[in-house]
Structure 1
């Protein structure tokens, strides 16, 4: 089985587990006044899980591919030439994402996100530090302001030891 079909099978499994949680566990603790609403908190996860299974089945069954092509096109992933792709960059970005998720609370949103954006753009090859650092700081500040002030969701802006 091709790499894309294995990924589709894993995706379908994830969507089935997500759909099980959405259909059978999310709505049990709803208060009585919400049980008569046409849209519940689980409506969007239900739709996402169903659409995910449909898309995964399309890829798994090969319905999106052309039947006359024997060799993969340039836009498809060729698992025989997987060593030619930039897997190092992808793995470093995944490692950065994990480190960012683990460091977000102790370091704070502003410093953690700024460092993640700077390190991520450096991994991807950006070398104009005089542009990269201000853009990361401005983007982080704008996102924090929108989430904290506009949406009213608390994000710890500074490290935990500052106590702010």
Structure 2
């Protein structure tokens, strides 16, 4: 069996356990007044479990495969792929996660987006920097002001 089908089989097991939890154990502890609500706290996990099970079945049965052979990853020729870029991006993600609290959300996320796009080959600095700053500011505003979840915007030494 191909690697994608093994992964789909593992994900199918996880989705079945997740679905069982969402359908049978999460609703048992609901307060009586919440049982009349149209949307329960378990509604989204139920939808996720059904979609995950459906996607796993599609992969297991091979329905997503087309007639064209797109190209399988040859594990014997890993050096032919952009392995350096992938490893750099993974290490950048780790550095981003470590710098998020001490350097703040705005600086860390902007730097992550700019450096990540540079690693992927973008060289138009006049496009990269404004897009990263606007995206970072928009996400911070939505999370902080609209959702009301505190995100440290500035570095720790600035006292915020």
Query: Shorter-chain TM-score category?
Result: 0.7 to 0.9
Task: Identify the residue that residue 142 of structure 1 maps to in structure 2.
Answer: 138
Q: Provide the alpha-carbon RMSD of the alignment.
A: 2.5
Q: Higher helix proportion, which one?
A: 2
The gaps in structure 1 that reach 5 residues or longer are none
Alpha-carbon distance in 2 for matches of 1:100, 1:5: 32
The 5-angstrom pairing of residues 7-156 of structure 1 reads 7-66=7-66, 73-74=69-70, 76-79=71-74, 83=78, 84-156=80-152
Residue 120 of structure 1 and its aligned partner are, at CA, apart by 1.0
1:41-100 deviations in Å (ceiling 9; x for gaps): 11111111111111112211223335xx5xx612x4344576233233233323323332
10 and 123 in structure 1: CA distance in 2 versus 1, 3 angstrom threshold: farther
Compute the TM-score of the two structures, normalised by the length of structure 2.
0.81
How many residue pairs end up in the alignment?
159
Residue 29 of structure 1 and its aligned partner are, at CA, apart by 4.2
Alpha-carbon distance in 1 for matches of 2:34, 2:47: 19
For residue 89 of structure 1, give the secondary structure of its aligned residue in structure 2.
Answer: helix
For residue 152 of structure 1, give the secondary structure of its aligned residue in structure 2.
Answer: coil
Residue 119 of structure 1 and its aligned partner are, at CA, apart by 1.6
The gaps in structure 2 that reach 5 residues or longer are none
62 and 28 in structure 1: CA distance in 2 versus 1, 3 angstrom threshold: same
Compute the TM-score of the two structures, normalised by the length of structure 1.
0.79
